[in-house]
Amino acid sequence: MIREADFIKALGLTVESPGATETLNILSSDINRPGLPLSGYWHFFSYQRPQVIGKVEMSYMSSLPMEVLEERLNTFFSYDIPCVIVCHGMECLREMVRCAKARGVPIYSTREETTVLVLRLINYLNNALAPHITQHGVLIDVFGTGILITGESGVGKSETALELVKRGHRLVADDVVDIRRVSADRLVGEAPEMIRHFMEIRGVGIIDIATMYGIGAVIGSKSIDLVIHFELWKGNVEYDRLGLEDNFTEILGVKVPRLLIPIRPGRNLAVVLEVAARNHRLKQNGFNAAKKLDERLRAQALKAMEGSEEA
């Protein structure tokens, strides 16, 4: 279900005929151009989708005799259609408005071309209908890499994010992150509207990052490319020092690279996260420093073995 007011605002639509409810029963990001149904072929009619009317459909309906047009429109609106959108700023046919009002189906219009509207509509529905969760953490854009910082409360997530903002990076969300799966392998995070651009710093209170550091210090949403978990340093734990093995965490069915960063006094966590972001980008481009060093060590060991055999 999608709120009608959000749907209209996001796509810049004009209401030509109001619907019977404040929500639209749209469950898929697919759309339908109802050319074949309006010509009388009703098999496999995808009535569950938003129906987009372009110049072809409108000119065809305008060419029909009145009795045929009324018969087709009565059949068309007898299905549980979520909504109809008329493109190119074309005027809706009176018969269409009459049938829509009788069935409580909303009709909207837009001045955009059909192709442009379809692309925007699919993109909006993909985001609005994407599976989502809310997670505790901080999301920040570091060198174009979306880093989700997780960890126990008070471990220093917000302070690290604040230092990164001071160094020119952009805050997405502090404390609470709304995460959506927009495709099979891509997650996008954003801040809840109520706390957007705000950050809590213990001992100082609530600060507005956009006001304090400028609008360039914040960004509305960002893909989640890397998860970094903060943990207080434990002396009895052997932490990874080489990075030969890649670790992942799963969010909404998507595997995201994950690093565990132990926290102890004296560590410059902002610099560590900058290095992690750069290293992540290098790995994406096929360069792994740990594996490069491992290859050198193996080559040197092999050379030493060959030298001992010759001796």
Q: Which residues are catalytic?
A: 136, 157, 175, 241
Helix axes 114-128, 4-11, angle to 10 degrees: 140
Q: What's the Rg (C-alpha) of the chain?
A: 28
Q: What one-letter code names the amino acid at 4?
A: E
Coil, strand or helix at 179 = strand
Beta carbons of 19 and 83 less than 8 angstroms apart: yes
- Distance, in Å, from the CA atom of 311 to the CA atom of 308, rounded to the nearest integer, reads 5
Beta bridge mates, 17: 107
Structural element, H or E, at residue 136: strand 132-136
* Three-state SS at 12: coil
Query: SS3 for 297?
Result: helix
Cβ(190)–Cβ(173) under 8 Å? yes
